[in-house]
Amino acid sequence: MVNLLAKSKIHQTYRQVKKIHRHRRKLKNKGIECCHVVSGYPKSGNTWVARMLSDAIRCKMIGYLSDVDERVPHETSLETDELLDDVVVVKSHHTVSLLTLGGVNPNDIVFVVRDPRDISVSGSGFLFASDNVPSEKRIDQMIDLMVETQKPKVRWQDLCWREFVQGAIDKDVLMVRYEDLLQDTAGSLRRILTRLGYARSDDQIEHVVRLHSFDASRVRAQASGRDDVLRYLRQGQSGVFQTYLTPRQRQRIESEFRYTMKYLNYL
pLDDT (0 to 100) of residue 134: 83
Phi then psi dihedrals of residue 39, to 5 deg: -115, 165
Q: 219-240 burial string, b = 16+ CB within 10 Å, else e?
A: eebeeeeeeebeebbbebebeb
Whole-number CA gyration radius for the chain: 18
Q: What is the pTM of this model?
A: 0.88
Q: Residue 133 carries which side chain, given as an amino acid letter?
A: V
Span 59-84, mean pLDDT? 63
Provide mean pLDDT across the span 155-168: 92
- Return the pLDDT at 69: 47
Q: What is the pLDDT of residues 27-45, one digit of tens each?
A: 888 888 899 999 999 999 9
Q: Terminal CA-to-CA distance of the chain, rounded, Å? A: 38
Enumerate domains of the chain plus CATH numbers.
Answer: 2-263 (3.40.50.300)
pLDDT(71) > 50 = no
Residue 241: which pLDDT band, with cuts at 50, 70 and 90?
very high
In this structure, what are the phi and psi dihedrals at residue 99, rounded to the nearest 5 degrees?
Answer: -60, -45
Q: What is the pLDDT of residue 228?
A: 54
